[in-house]
Structure 1
Amino acid sequence: MTTIYDIAEKTGFSITTVSKVLNNYTDVSEKTKKKVLAAVEEMGYFPNSHARTLTTKKSWTLGVVFMESLGGGMKHPFFNAVIESFKQRAELSGYDMLFVSRNIQNEKKSYLDHFQYRGVDGVVIVCSVVDDPEVKKLMESNLPTVVIDMHSTKSSVVYSDNSHGSVLAFDYLYALGHRKIAHIYGHQETFAGTERLKGFLKAAEKQKLDIPKSYIVSGEYFSIEGGEKAMHTLLSLENPPTAVYAAGDNMALGAMKAIRAKGLKVPEDISVVGFDDIEIAKHLNPALTTIRQNMDLIGSQAADVLISQINEKRKTSVAITIPVELLERDSCMPIKG
């Protein structure tokens, strides 16, 4: 069986350096990391978990709290992609994931109690719900934590630049000549929903464009059904919009469905912009113009931040904002006339 000594001999690095790479310490160069990890993969190195736990005083397990109010659970493309990216990055450093129930031996326990009971080294919180007391208790504990898709000063956080994404979407439609621009917003109990609405209003104010209140409609919990319902409301107006920015691709899909049901076309009659860049967006007809979230980077950065806290034995409250970009496809066109 391959040992850490074999890895050291093959790469020419010391046992200490190899150990640091395997435990994701920050004082090792990227070049060294790549060489060691390549040897690990090539030689099929797999450390003995019991021995590693005794040596490092770690459980090599990361707890996962997944709480969302959208109804789709981990089937939702955003959460699925982010958690997968986090998992892949953490596994490179030797960590396993532990998804928990709050029941321990048929007794209801808090997430914090459960993670302390299981002895995890740290916790990633994927949460769309603002101010959940269980999550708040976990973030305020001494356990290393990182939160994805929500802001907090009590924990390290990683999220997309939601507000700026809305500005990009609005400015793009404005540059195409649209002045009747509507917004289908996500639920205001979510961090993403509130930030994207703020960005839309900020962009409209910057362009000195007065947006009627009737043009700002709830798409509920970022669902296709919510987007479809909101679009039907917009289409029933006496003076309907020529362009719609939906704060999530699923809502944009629903909006496009409602537009077609009305006998109208995208983008000839109404331009549509989404947010997320889920996998299906580029395969739609027309392909959806959207704001791309870098889901892979969100997940990997969250893993790095959490593992860094564990290695340094120090809880931190850093905030990492991941840039977004506009992907121009076929669902928008300049305003006629």
Structure 2
Amino acid sequence: MVRMSDIARRCGISRATVSAVLNNHHEKLGIKPETAEKVRATAEKMGYFRNEMAVAIKTGQNAVIGCITVGLSSEWIARSVTGLLQTGQDEGYLIKIVNLETCDGVLDALRRLVRQRMAGIFCCNVNVNAATGRAFRELCARYEMPVVGVNCSESIGGGHFRSDDLQGMELAVGHLWKLGHRHIAHLTGDPESMTGPLRRDGFLQAMQRRGAAVPASWVVMGSYDPDIAEGSAERLLKRSKNLPTAILCANDEVAVVTLRAARKLGLRVPQDLSVIGYSDMKSAQLADPPLTTIRQPFEKMGARGAAVLLDLIRKQSKKIPDVEWLLTKLVVRASTAAYTSSK
């Protein structure tokens, strides 16, 4: 078995220098880049592998990040975790994923990961009540376990990363406004979710900035459940008077069933009604017509969360953001068009 001392003799330097390079501490210690490159090349040529078990015993942690997700089958969660996987693996960390169907098992999942000496905890879609959040936070603090979350309850502690829904709704309303639409309705998401009320508020604020009054009946309390959302869309569009010329939906699934509801009622999209989604899932591209939508940076949210978590693990950062909002992007497709008075 090749040891660090063997590499040191081959390179003609101290074992401490080799250790610093192979443990990624060389920049902090001022070791020259050419020396670091020589050590890495020699280690690879000699077939050196770091003894991760020995490192874990010495440091009290594995080079493994524990990831707790709720609903990994959801596209946005999978894309967020992809950002974690790419960033973590590029930095030499393995990722252990514990996926749950509901948040009921979050504390048990955390205890299992803590017992396995994870280097840090990455959470995605972990939305818990205050008591569970406090217990989660206290357990992480007791074992000095750094934690970050993507679209999670802030009560679990750590740094949080989300897309800027207020900015996203401003982009969506701004797009429809430029197309000449003034009668814009909003199908909201679940009122108990984090994103539903935030996107509703973003919609209302964007309309208010333009001096546009929004009838209460045009802000339809909906759901992310497609069946419920479709019923809400049908009720909105069945009115014989005062119909909106555009509907801004809380996510792409809601927008897709709104297209279906419009088709049932003989309304053409976008000729009679413009529809805009939110998130830019695969369903947005496959819809008929393809959906104009707001793209959320899911992979970037995961990668940014992973980068901050790695800094915390390496103790390269003591200050982390309570919430870091990442910008969204307007994606224009075929479900929106300019308003004409014949609509």
TM-score range, shorter chain: 0.7 to 0.9
Report the counterpart of residue 121 of structure 2 in structure 1: 123
Report the counterpart of residue 96 of structure 2 in structure 1: 98
Cα distance in 1 for partners of 2:27, 2:204 equals: 43
Task: Summarize the Cα distance change of 1:251–1:15 in structure 2 as closer, same or farther, 3 Å threshold.
Answer: farther
Report the counterpart of residue 70 of structure 1 in structure 2: none
CA contact (8 A) 1:125 1:145 kept: yes
1:305 CA displacement = 0.9
Report the counterpart of residue 294 of structure 2 in structure 1: 291
1:206 CA displacement = 0.6
Cα distance in 2 for partners of 1:113, 1:287 equals: 44
Between 1:93-102 and 1:262-271, the stretch displaced more is 93-102
Between 1:109-118 and 1:185-194, the stretch displaced more is 109-118
Question: Percent identity at matched positions?
Answer: 27
Question: In the alignment, is residue 164 of structure 1 matched against residue 172 of structure 2?
Answer: no
Task: Summarize the Cα distance change of 1:237–1:211 in structure 2 as closer, same or farther, 3 Å threshold.
Answer: same
Report the counterpart of residue 82 of structure 2 in structure 1: 84
Q: What is the letter of the counterpart of residue 226 of structure 2?
A: I
TM-score normalised to the size of structure 2? 0.79
Report the counterpart of residue 199 of structure 1 in structure 2: 202
Q: What does 1:185-334 align with in structure 2 at a 5 Å threshold?
A: 185-220=188-223, 222-238=224-240, 239-312=242-315, 316-318=319-321, 319-334=323-338
Task: Summarize the Cα distance change of 1:252–1:119 in structure 2 as closer, same or farther, 3 Å threshold.
Answer: same
Cα distance in 1 for partners of 2:134, 2:27 equals: 28
CA contact (8 A) 1:145 1:315 kept: no
One of 184, 187, 190 as aligned partner of 1:184: 187
Cα distance in 2 for partners of 1:233, 1:323 equals: 33
CA-to-aligned-CA distance 1:139-189 (integer Å, 9 cap, x gap): 354121101014637320111111110111111111211111111111122
TM-score normalised to the size of structure 1? 0.80
Between 1:119-128 and 1:296-305, the stretch displaced more is 119-128
Cα distance in 1 for partners of 2:26, 2:132 equals: 30
1:312 is paired with a residue whose SS is coil
1:314 CA displacement = 6.8
Gaps of 5+ in 1: 68-72
Task: Summarize the Cα distance change of 1:320–1:167 in structure 2 as closer, same or farther, 3 Å threshold.
Answer: same
CA-to-aligned-CA distance 1:37-79 (integer Å, 9 cap, x gap): x989x98986443233245442122222223xxxxx2222111
Report the counterpart of residue 144 of structure 1 in structure 2: 146
1:109 CA displacement = 5.9
Cα distance in 1 for partners of 2:310, 2:106 equals: 29
Task: Summarize the Cα distance change of 1:89–1:2 in structure 2 as closer, same or farther, 3 Å threshold.
Answer: farther
CA-to-aligned-CA distance 1:74-107 (integer Å, 9 cap, x gap): 22211111112212211222323333489xxxx9
Instruction: Please give the root-mean-square deviation of Cα atoms over the aligned residues, in Å.
Output: 3.5
Cα distance in 2 for partners of 1:57, 1:192 equals: 38
